[in-house]
Amino acid sequence: MASPLPPFDWDIFCCVVDNFGDIGVTWRLARQLRQQGTLPGHSNDIQVRLWVDDLTSFARICPALDPVQDGQWVEGIYIQHWHETLPTDMTPAKVVIEAFACELPAPFIERMAEQMASQPRPPCWINLEYLSAESWVEDCHGLASPQRVGNKSFNKYFFFPGFTAKTGGLLCEQGLIAERERWQQDKAGLAAYWASLDLPAPREHELRISLFTYESEALNSLVKSWCQSATPITLLLPLGRSLADVLRGAGLEQAMTTAKVGDLLHSGNLTIKLLPMTDQAGYDRLLWSCDLNLVRGEDSFVRAQWAGRPFLWHIYPQQEEAHLVKLEQFLDHYLAELPDGGSQWLRHVNLALNRGEDTAQWWAQWPDQVAIWQQHSRHWPTGLLKEGDLVTRLVKFLESRI
């Protein structure tokens, strides 16, 4: 007989979108809450339950997960398969988070309302929104939205991750930056890491680049520039959506149907190493080890910033180019302290990637811009964490609401 589940402090609901983006964020959130999410007036034995509608996709970034099981413990988190029928003995946690407006199931909301009869306060309901650097986020962060269920009413609060003190901040585990520093300064460890990928240590002046983006015509010209580079470049490429564009740019179209994990492909001065999907800790180590990271979406975008290395952001494309507005407003923050020359160059590179434009003229300026970009990348995370990370700000937000 299965052991009864404990009372949960946190319930997190996640619909898996685009395979890894939303679940990547919520899985990191669940693990950080398990370590640091002590609620006001409660014990330090924190219990977190994560509801996920697609366990198969989740398992690709969490190898310990069994997609067949309806409920299971992984790394101290209870993973519950979210489908139409809720467990009969389910009791909502003290804090309920719907990630990225995924909409809680109606029976769950009804049970939240029922708890009002037996508890002085209902569960605190948080809508964790997508990350944005847009200015309106500051005005909406923390706002309450009255909800009525039957004859009972309570609030749902909007919590916006962001880049300023007036937002919810960014996910960043305690000790992450120090761990990254140790990794990047450990020459023997880095050599062992490259060996684990069947690669030698980087040669003098060689660039190591990771690429995890969506499809983009801009990759054709960018990869072609890498093939023609005066210095050797090794591209670390997880098999995925950008593979065809990369191989086309490298003139390796013939490899599209046969490419597999572990392959080492060559074109001009570019070497392409095809990688498997990895867990999140493995992806962090990849970002920490490379000289430049091309990332996408939200989760890899944030992790690239903690890596302290130059990065380019391929934002999720939206209708009427709404994503470019979001990109520009992030760049307004990110580039504010760079000199005009470097600022304009980096803005153009990001926009060219996201518009699918020719990037050759911009990549040609990399040697002149890289030093100041590297310095900026090292300092950038410090400013983001001045007011605390997302979990710290979330717990503080809940102090008067639990």
Q: Where are the domains of the chain?
A: 10-169+387-399, 177-385
318-346: pLDDT as tens digits: 888 889 999 999 999 999 999 888 899 99
Q: What are phi and psi of 380, to 5 degrees?
A: -55, -45
Q: CA 287, CA 309: separation in Å to the nearest integer?
A: 8
Q: What is the pLDDT of residues 227-250, one digit of tens each?
A: 999 999 999 999 889 999 999 999
Asked whether the predicted pLDDT for residue 58 surpasses 60, the reply is: yes
Q: What is the pLDDT of residues 349-376, one digit of tens each?
A: 999 999 999 999 999 999 999 999 999 9
The tokens describing 10, both together, are 């946190």
Give the model confidence (pLDDT) of 138-179 as tens digits.
999 999 999 988 788 889 999 999 999 999 999 999 999 999
- b/e for 181-213, b at 16 or more Cβ within 10 A? eebbeeeeebeebbeeeebeebeeebbbbbbbb
To the nearest whole percent, how much of the chain has pLDDT over 70? 99
CA–CA distances in Å: residue 62 to residues 141, 178, 277: 31, 24, 10
**How much is the pLDDT for 18?**
64
- The 8-class DSSP code of residue 186 comes to -
Tell me which of 11, 129, 284, 298 is the catalytic residue. Answer: 298
What digits encode the pLDDT tens for the residues 246-263? Answer: 999 999 999 999 999 999
Which candidate in 22, 129, 245, 299 is catalytic?
22
**Dihedrals φ, ψ of 141, to 5°?**
-60, 130
Averaged pLDDT, 207-229: 96
CATH level 2 (architecture), domain 177-385: 3-Layer(aba) Sandwich (3.40)
Q: How far apart are CA 30 and CA 34, in angstroms?
A: 6
Q: Is 125 helix (H, G, I), strand (E, B) or coil?
A: strand
Q: How far is the C-alpha of 113 from the C-alpha of 153, rounded, in Å?
A: 8
Statement: residue 182 has pLDDT above 90: yes
45 as an active site residue: the answer is no
Q: Is the pLDDT of residue 43 over 80?
A: no
Q: What is the pLDDT of residue 200?
A: 96
Active site residue 129: no
DSSP element (H, E) containing 238: strand 233-238
Render 27-85 in DSSP notation, one character per residue: HHHHHHHHHH-PPTTS-S---EEEEES-HHHHHHH-TT--TT-SEEEETTEEEEE--SS
Q: Residue 222: which pLDDT band, with cuts at 50, 70 and 90?
A: very high
The whole-number pLDDT of residue 1 equals 40
